[in-house]
């Protein structure tokens, strides 16, 4: 038990696997049926990300274009004078550079919108910032670009009256006043003068509300569609794994313990679901937001954007260091979790042994040691994250401080507006938000890659019994069985059956006996093709069983095994086992198997649910239910593998009476250790070391005084000794 339970610990080590493009391609292959949903999820992601990036930009527009709607004035008369007079001592000045036409061309080249009012051009302060520092300095030096800010407004009778005598320029549609006089106007005149700004703020607010609703809608769509794709992939993977497992030979389960298969179907597939729902889409969104923030920063103000970007290298270095530290902490944690799970699984299963040998204290100390290691591993992982998060917060604050410091200087120099500065602060916060997310998603990516690797490792193992048979047995099936020179080994070099030959006539009851390890149960496994023979062949009604479809073969030959397995369902459904058998057929089979009396006494009779392991009934009763199950399916060939081993003597007498009627019309192969149960068999085959040592009836074999007689004497003396 310990060796098998220890395996998961080794497997958990592979959780440290990094990104693997081959595994990723195979995982994404399962997403092809959901391609349309994935495309819509990506589109929703793009729209929601764009909406989030536009929110700070709209805030900047509201501030700079409406709340603080300052304009810079470019005096064309001054430009004409500077052009006419020339400035030979200025190396930065080229011929024609300061003419009115050159000023307009300069603004056009920088994609700056302007208004011509009277003898001047007016440009929003946020637009004027696109000019380089050299260009602004040159224009100010020649008094073309005024330091004073102005306010431009639609010219109506109301706004003309509100502006009063301070109206500077007008062209029939727009008027201009110095921005400073707005602070001097009474509230009523100011509201009248700035009515178009109020409307503009309302319009921007409406757009922001629309953006918020858009982000909400598309975020919901992206989350739902991503979950739909992830759940669909997880469902398909589980179905593929389950279908793959149920069609494998028993050799597959020998190499893959049940716990391992269950882990593949549950935990490992769940990590792949997290890859879709938590990693891929969020990673794309995080990267998109970070790239989008950088682009938006440069679009708003390249100078301040450059300063901001220069604060980011420490973040990159810290993230790389965190990735290495987190990987090691994650490895240690998974190892500790695996050790605790393995210990608990082993010792809870063997609790009876622990208590009988009074090992509670020792076991408790051993568990405490592993639990302490798990505690230290958890604290170690938390230490890494507890260090990383505050450092990221510190660097985020540092970036914001740099933006505030340099942004304030640029603002005082007229190189940046208040709206741009506020937008920068929001965008910097937005940039740092995905940094932590990307770092933490690294562990999920590792788990998903490792989970995918383990899932595909199972899927790549193909040990199924070939189901290529197309021959159909003639009806009715007679049940003639022939073993022709059959040899078989579970482990190479350790043969279980050696050149075994025997024949069973239709309707004959043949018992197979021998010492433990002689190959008795192997005969039943080979006959039902749970394993395939290495050499020779097995015939039923003269047809090689490998030429028959597995479904037809296993419907014709059904076993009753010593270790009965009943499913977590009602008694009736455990007898039906998927066949459309009416209640009276179920009850008839139970009566024939002598199981009706105890089933009827159960709280809900045939509809009493059996829990996991069917612990509500005894071992002997479980065997009777299994016997009723086979009788209900009515196979022409019946295999009884120690089927009466756990039935009390009284019940065994009743079932032997029923068997005389049931077995009269079908072929039966009875595998038994208790020789008293097979005295009335038509023939007895005695195996020794995988070979047929002798055969005959019970009395014939006793008279031969061979291996069977020796086995019988041993059992008789054992019974006498009791």
Say what the pLDDT of residue 205 is: 92
User: Does the structure show a pLDDT above 70 at 153?
Assistant: yes
H/E run at residue 146: strand 145-154
Same domain, 494 and 598: yes
Q: pTM (2 decimals)?
A: 0.71
User: Does the structure show a pLDDT above 50 at 88?
Assistant: no
Within 10 A of 281 (CB to CB), how many other CB atoms are there?
A: 23
Which of 426, 459, 492 is the endpoint of a domain?
459
Q: Which two tokens stand for residue 540?
A: 């039923």
More confident position, 67 or 256: 67
User: Does the structure show a pLDDT above 50 at 6?
Assistant: no
Q: How far apart are CA 404 and CA 575, in angstroms?
A: 77
Could you tell me the pLDDT band of residue 3, with boundaries at 50, 70 and 90?
A: very low
User: Does the structure show a pLDDT above 80 at 94?
Assistant: no
- List the single range of 358-367, 378-387, 652-661 with lowest mean pLDDT: 652-661
Q: In what order do the strands lie in the sheet with 683-688?
A: 557-561, 637-641, 667-671, 509-514, 683-688, 691-696
Q: Alpha helices, DSSP H only, in 30-75?
A: 35-61
DSSP 8-state secondary structure symbol assigned to residue 167: -
Q: How far apart are CA 632 and CA 599, in angstroms?
A: 15
Contact 584, 646 (CB under 8 A): no
What does DSSP say about strands 120-124 and 115-117: parallel, antiparallel, or unpaired?
antiparallel
Say what the pLDDT of residue 19 is: 67
CA atoms in the 13 A half-sphere facing the CB of 681: 30
Alpha carbon 190 to its chain's center: 60
User: Does the structure show a pLDDT above 80 at 645?
Assistant: no
* CB-based burial label for 573 (10 Å; 0-12, 13-18, 19+): middle
Model confidence pLDDT, tens digit, residues 587-610: 988 888 778 888 888 888 899 888
Write the CA distances from 553 to 464, 477, 637, 674, integer angstroms: 16, 11, 10, 29
Q: Which residues contact residue 566 at a Cβ distance below 8 angstroms, ignoring those fewer than 6 apart?
A: 574, 610, 613, 614, 622, 625, 626
Residue 219 lies in a domain: no
User: Does the structure show a pLDDT above 70 at 15?
Assistant: no
Say what the pLDDT of residue 644 is: 62
- List the single range of 265-274, 532-541, 681-690 with lowest mean pLDDT: 265-274
Could you check whether the bond before residue 493 is cis, i.e. omega within 30 degrees of 0? no
Within 10 A of 536 (CB to CB), how many other CB atoms are there?
A: 16
Say what the pLDDT of residue 503 is: 93
Mean pLDDT of the chain: 82
Same domain, 171 and 274: no
CA atoms in the 13 A half-sphere facing the CB of 532: 15
Same domain, 447 and 498: no
Say what the pLDDT of residue 209 is: 94
Contact 272, 448 (CB under 8 A): yes
Same domain, 101 and 158: yes
Residue 393 lies in a domain: yes
Same domain, 262 and 372: yes
Arithmetic mean of pLDDT, 176-188: 86
User: Does the structure show a pLDDT above 90 at 213?
Assistant: yes
Range of the domain at 347: 2-39+230-459
Which of 459, 492, 523 is the endpoint of a domain?
459
Say what the pLDDT of residue 92 is: 42
Same domain, 7 and 77: no
* CB-based burial label for 110 (10 Å; 0-12, 13-18, 19+): middle
Q: How far apart are CA 546 and CA 524, in angstroms?
A: 15
CATH number at residue 717: 3.40.50.300
Q: How far apart are CA 326 and CA 16, in angstroms?
A: 10
Ramachandran sector of residue 389 (left: φ over 0; alpha: ψ -120 to 50; beta: rest): alpha
Residue 213 lies in a domain: no
CATH number at residue 26: 1.20.1560.10
- pLDDT over 90, % of the chain: 13
Model confidence pLDDT, tens digit, residues 20-56: 788 888 888 888 999 999 999 999 998 999 999 999 9
Could you tell me the pLDDT band of residue 211, with boundaries at 50, 70 and 90?
A: very high
User: Does the structure show a pLDDT above 90 at 17?
Assistant: no
User: Does the structure show a pLDDT above 90 at 658?
Assistant: no
Could you tell me the pLDDT band of residue 183, with boundaries at 50, 70 and 90?
A: confident
More confident position, 279 or 586: 586
User: Does the structure show a pLDDT above 50 at 96?
Assistant: no
Residue 57 lies in a domain: no
Same domain, 33 and 76: no
Arithmetic mean of pLDDT, 175-197: 86
Model confidence pLDDT, tens digit, residues 306-340: 988 888 888 888 877 877 777 777 778 777 877 78
Alpha carbon 346 to its chain's center: 28
Within 10 A of 624 (CB to CB), how many other CB atoms are there?
A: 28
Say what the pLDDT of residue 84 is: 74
Same domain, 569 and 497: yes
Same domain, 371 and 520: no
Model confidence pLDDT, tens digit, residues 234-277: 889 888 888 888 877 777 776 766 666 777 777 778 878 888 87
CA nearest 294: which of 274, 278, 316?
316
User: Does the structure show a pLDDT above 80 at 2?
Assistant: no
User: Does the structure show a pLDDT above 80 at 128?
Assistant: yes
- pLDDT over 70, % of the chain: 89
CA nearest 329: which of 374, 289, 295, 369?
374
Say what the pLDDT of residue 10 is: 39
Same domain, 453 and 485: no
Same domain, 145 and 183: yes
CA nearest 643: which of 633, 632, 652?
652
Say what the pLDDT of residue 93 is: 43
Residue 567 lies in a domain: yes
Within 10 A of 131 (CB to CB), how many other CB atoms are there?
A: 21
Arithmetic mean of pLDDT, 476-487: 91
Say what the pLDDT of residue 490 is: 86
Could you tell me the pLDDT band of residue 208, with boundaries at 50, 70 and 90?
A: very high
Which of 429, 459, 489 is the endpoint of a domain?
459
* CB-based burial label for 518 (10 Å; 0-12, 13-18, 19+): buried
Could you tell me the pLDDT band of residue 86, with boundaries at 50, 70 and 90?
A: low
Say what the pLDDT of residue 391 is: 85
Residue 519 lies in a domain: yes
More confident position, 435 or 532: 532
Please state the domain count of the chain. Answer: 3
Residue 169 lies in a domain: yes
- Beta-bridge mates of residue 150: 71, 178
User: Does the structure show a pLDDT above 60 at 720?
Assistant: no
Residue 411 lies in a domain: yes
Same domain, 276 and 356: yes
Contact 193, 162 (CB under 8 A): yes
Q: Alpha helices, DSSP H only, in 247-312?
A: 250-255, 258-263, 269-274, 281-300, 302-309
């Amino acid at each position: 038990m310990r060796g098998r339970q220890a395996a998961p610990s080794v497997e958990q080590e592979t959780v440290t696997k990094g990104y693997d493009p081959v595994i990723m391609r195979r995982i994404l292959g399962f997403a092809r049926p959901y391609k349309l949903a994935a495309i819509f999820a990506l589109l929703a992601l793009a729209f929601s990300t764009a909406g989030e990036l536009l929110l700070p930009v709209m805030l900047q527009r509201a501030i700079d274009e409406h709340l603080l709607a300052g304009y810079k004035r470019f005096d064309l008369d001054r430009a004409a004078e500077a052009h006419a007079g020339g400035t030979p001592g200025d190396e930065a000045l080229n011929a024609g550079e300061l003419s009115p036409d050159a000023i307009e061309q300069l603004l056009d080249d920088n994609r700056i919108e302007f208004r011509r009012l009277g003898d001047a051009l007016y440009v929003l302060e946020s637009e004027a910032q696109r000019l380089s520092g050299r260009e602004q300095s040159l224009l100010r030096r020649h008094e073309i670009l005024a330091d004073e800010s102005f306010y431009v407004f639609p010219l109506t009778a109301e706004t003309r009256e509100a502006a009063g005598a301070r109206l500077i320029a007008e062209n029939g549609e727009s008027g201009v006043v110095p921005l400073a006089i707005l602070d001097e106007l009474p509230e009523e005149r100011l509201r009248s003068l700035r009515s178009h700004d109020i409307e503009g703020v309302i319009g921007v607010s409406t757009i922001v509300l629309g953006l918020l609703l858009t982000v909400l809608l598309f975020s919901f769509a992206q989350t739902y569609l991503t979950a739909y794709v992830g759940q669909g992939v997880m469902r398909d993977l589980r179905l593929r794994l389950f279908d793959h497992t149920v069609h494998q030979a028993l050799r597959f389960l020998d190499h893959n313990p049940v716990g391992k298969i269950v882990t593949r179907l549950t935990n490992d597939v769940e990590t792949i679901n997290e890859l879709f729902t938590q990693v891929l889409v969020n990673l794309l969104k995080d990267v998109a937001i970070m790239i989008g923030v950088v682009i938006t920063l440069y679009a708003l103000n390249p100078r301040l954007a450059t300063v901001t970007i220069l604060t980011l290298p420490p973040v990159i270095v810290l993230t790389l260091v965190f990735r290495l530290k987190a990987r090691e902490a994650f490895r240690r944690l998974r190892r500790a979790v695996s050790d605790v799970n393995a210990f608990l699984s082993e010792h809870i299963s063997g609790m009876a042994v622990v208590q009988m040998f009074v090992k509670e204290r020792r076991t408790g100390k051993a568990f405490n040691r592993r639990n302490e290691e798990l505690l230290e591993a958890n604290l170690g992982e938390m230490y890494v994250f507890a260090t990383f998060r505050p450092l990221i917060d510190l660097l985020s604050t540092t970036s914001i401080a740099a933006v505030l410091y340099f942004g304030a200087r640029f603002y005082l120099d007229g190189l940046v507006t208040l709206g741009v500065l506020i937008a920068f602060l929001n965008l910097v916060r937005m940039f740092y938000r995905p940094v932590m997310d990307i770092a933490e998603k690294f562990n999920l990516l590792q788990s998903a890659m490792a989970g995918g690797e383990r899932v595909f490792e199972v899927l790549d193992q193909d040990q199924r019994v070939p189901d290529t048979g197309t021959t159909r047995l003639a009806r009715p099936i007679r049940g003639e069985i022939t073993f022709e020179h059959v040899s078989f080994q579970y482990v190479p070099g350790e043969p279980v059956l050696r050149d075994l030959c025997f024949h069973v006539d239709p309707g004959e009851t043949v018992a197979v006996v021998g010492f433990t390890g002689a190959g008795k149960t192997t005969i039943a496994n080979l006959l039902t093709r749970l394993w395939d023979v290495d050499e020779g062949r097995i015939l039923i009604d003269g047809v090689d069983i490998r030429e028959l479809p597995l479904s037809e073969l296993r419907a014709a030959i059904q076993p009753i095994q010593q270790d009965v397995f009943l499913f977590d369902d009602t008694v009736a459904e455990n007898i039906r086992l998927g066949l459309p058998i009416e209640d009276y057929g179920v009850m008839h089979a139970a009566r024939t198997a002598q199981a009706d009396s105890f089933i009827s006494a159960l709280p809900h009779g045939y509809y009493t649910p059996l829990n996991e392991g069917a612990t509500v009934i005894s071992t002997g009763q479980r065997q009777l239910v299994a016997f009723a199950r086979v009788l209900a399916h009515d196979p022409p060939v019946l295999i009884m593998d120690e089927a009466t081993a756990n039935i009390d003597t009284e019940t065994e007498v009743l079932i032997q009476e029923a068997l005389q009627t049931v077995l009269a019309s079908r072929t039966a192969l009875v595998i038994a250790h208790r020789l008293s149960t097979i005295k009335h068999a038509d023939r007895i085959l005695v195996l020794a070391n995988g070979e047929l040592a002798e055969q005959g009836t019970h009395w014939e074999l006793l008279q031969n005084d061979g291996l069977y007689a020796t086995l019988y004497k041993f059992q008789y003396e054992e019974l006498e000794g009791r």
